[in-house]
Amino acid sequence: MTGSSRYVLATRSSGKLRELEPLFANARIEVVTLDRLGIRESEREAEIEAFSTFEENALAKATYFRDITGLPTFADDSGLEVVALGGEPGVRSKRWSGRTDLIGLALDEANNAELLRALAGVTSRGARYVCVAALATSTGVLTRRGEVEGEILDAGRGSGGFGYDPLFFATELGMTFGEASRREKECVSHRGRAFHALLGAMRGG
Ligand code: IMP
């Protein structure tokens, strides 16, 4: 599924863009953002990821923006699954706090506060991040899943990454994703793993 010289990277998340743009640059794949294409955020977009699986949501985003742009399009859907919460917040990670009035850092802080509230007094803190990376082209679609295991701390550490990262202690790194460098996070993260696997599959690997 290679051959195209320009791809769309379809996300509105600045945190995801900060992680994915260098990953694509290293792989020598030219990606353009929705902003650079002048595609403004619409109300319809909020309804795209209404499914109950990361796979369905990632495919819905990739095909939606492929159809608008006419270009092969990468997208992802990701979230945090906490064992003691039965896998919540899962696909609802972004809006888990219920604060529809907030965006960016303020929304991240509200979600983190909600996570700490939900886990107050809970000793079993196991969690995993999940990401499904999707590519939609004119000839078909491709997805790959990445996961990373860890634990939810009872207070944040570090200011790197985004979202739940200061609270997520990654077992393989021995530190939180908030403390990790971008490169360290990419090596073990759900998103790094999903996109490296997707790029490998595109190359026939
Ligand atoms: P999506 O944009 O619908 O895929 O929602 C992703 C949400 O999951 C984010 O807004 C975060 O709340 C959470 N999330 C996913 N990946 C990460 C990550 O790498 N770090 C921190 N939070 C993440």
Residue nearest to atom 12 of ligand 1 (CA): 94
pLDDT in tens, 145-203: 999 999 999 999 999 999 999 999 999 999 999 999 999 999 999 999 999 999 999 98
CATH of the domain at 73: 3.90.950.10
pLDDT in tens, 46-66: 899 999 999 999 999 999 999
1 found inside a domain: no
Pairing of strands 126-136, 73-82: antiparallel
* pTM, rounded to two decimals: 0.95
pLDDT value for 111? 98
Q: Which atom of ligand 1 is nearest to the CA of 108?
A: 12
Residue nearest to atom 10 of ligand 1 (CA): 94
Cβ–Cβ < 8 Å for 112, 94: no
Q: How far is the CA of 3 from the centre of ligand 1 (A)?
A: 30
Residue nearest to atom 8 of ligand 1 (CA): 79
pLDDT at position 3 over 80 = no
Q: For the chain, what is the domain count?
A: 1
113 found inside a domain: yes
Ligand 1 pocket, 161 CB below 6 A?
A: yes
If one residue of 56, 59, 94 were mutated to test the ligand 1 pocket, choosing by the most ligand atoms within 8 A of its CB, it would be 94
23 found inside a domain: yes
Averaged over 129-135, what is the pLDDT?
Answer: 98
Q: Return the active site residues.
A: 77
Cβ–Cβ < 8 Å for 155, 181: no
pLDDT value for 203? 87
pLDDT value for 5? 79
Q: In the beta sheet, which residues pair with residue 82?
A: 127
Q: Which atom of ligand 1 is nearest to the CA of 77?
A: 4
Q: Which atom of ligand 1 is nearest to the CA of 161?
A: 20
57 found inside a domain: yes
Q: Which range marks the domain in which residue 89 is found? A: 6-202
pLDDT value for 4? 64
Conformational region of residue 90, where left means phi above 0, alpha means psi within -120 to 50, and beta covers everything else = left
Q: Which atom of ligand 1 is nearest to the CA of 96?
A: 12
pLDDT value for 166? 97
Ligand 1 pocket, 79 CB below 6 A?
A: yes
pLDDT in tens, 96-125: 999 999 999 999 999 999 999 999 999 999
pLDDT value for 1? 56
Ligand 1 pocket, 112 CB below 6 A?
A: no
**Close Cβ partners of 154 (under 8 Å, ≥ 6 residues apart):** 116, 119
140 found inside a domain: yes
